[in-house]
Every structure is written in C-alpha cells, then in structure tokens.
Amino acid sequence: MIVITTANKLTLFRIVLIPVFMIFFYIAKEWSYYTACVVFIVASITDFLDGYIARKYNQVTDFGKFADPLADKLLVIAAFIGFVDASLSPAWMVMVVVARELIVTALRTVAAAAGRIIAASYFGKIKTTVQMIAIIYLLLFGWRDFYIGAVSVNLVLNVVVLIITVASGVDYIYKNRELLKKVK
C-alpha cells in the first residue's frame, strides 16, 4: 500500500511539473526559456523539500525512496533531451547520462526484488545537484555560450556533468555489486 505523505505529494508534484517544464522549453522563445527555468527551479526545490520533510517528520516510505530518485531522473533526462534538440548538449553525452540513470534504476529494481531498497547515496545527491545547477545555467545563459578564453562554459558544464554522473554510477554499482552476482 502506498502511503501518500506530504513528502510523497511533493515528489508527485515534481513529476507533474516535468511536462509543464517541457512545454515552456519547446515554445523556444527567450521568455519561455526563463519560464521553463522557473518551473525547473520549483521542481528542484521540491526535491530538497520532500527529503527534508520525509526525514524531519518521519515520513520516509518505500514509495518515496523509489519515486524521489525516479522523479529526479525524469526531470534531468527531460532537460538534457531538450538540450540535445537545442544543441546545448551533445547527444552522445546525454546518452551516457540516460544510460547511467537506467542502470541505477535497474539496480534498484533488482534490489527491490531481493527485498532491499537502495536510497539515494550522498554521491548520487551531489550528482543531482551538479546536474540541476548545470541545467539552470544552460536554461539561463546557454543560448549565449560564454567563453573563458577559448573554452566554452557550456562545454565545461557538460563535461563536469558527464564525469560526476559516470562516477556516481560506478559508485552505485560498486557498493551494490553483490546484487549483480545474484542476477541469473
């Protein structure tokens, strides 16, 4: 049975905001990018709030442990897919990010089948924070692609996201490698 707590409502609200974000993003006008950024920031704030409320008010649920990271993944993937369309992120990099997210989600599914819940790790939370900061920057400034010397800030942000995303994925796999040994 799914317990709908305040924290879980915030997670569900974040999921509802994803298509709203995408609508504003794909209007593709300067004002709509800023509006998409506001929607993204609101969704990102709910990520912080739902975890805080869940821990502070003892509202941690199995549903929340599963749905919260899934909502984060959906939000981030939606943004990066949009960035591929807008030529702000290379498709190959976004494919690596999506692959990491799918691998970690599959790992969580295997864990759930074994009666375990894999909550978001500290490294995973850093990854999410870095991705969200990069997304906000790209929504606000990526269209202008500032340079520091000859180096594109967009490129630097995409590389940092890629490195941290891959590293956190490796961390999840390493810490849960015993689950993979049980998969037949």
Looking at domain 6-182, which of 1.20.120.1760, 3.30.9.10, 3.50.30.10, 3.30.1340.30 is its CATH number? Answer: 1.20.120.1760
Confidence of residue 151 (pLDDT cuts 50, 70, 90): very high
pLDDT, tens digit, 9 for 90 and up, residues 101-149: 999 988 988 887 888 888 778 898 899 899 999 999 999 998 888 899 9
Domain ranges of the chain: 6-182
Interatomic CA distance for residues 97 and 157, integer angstroms: 13
pLDDT of residue 149: 92
Stated pTM of the model: 0.88
Query: In 57-176, which residue ranges form alpha helices assigned H by DSSP?
Result: 62-85, 91-113, 122-141, 153-175
Contact 22, 78 (CB under 8 A): yes
Confidence of residue 5 (pLDDT cuts 50, 70, 90): very high
pLDDT over 70 (residue 183): no
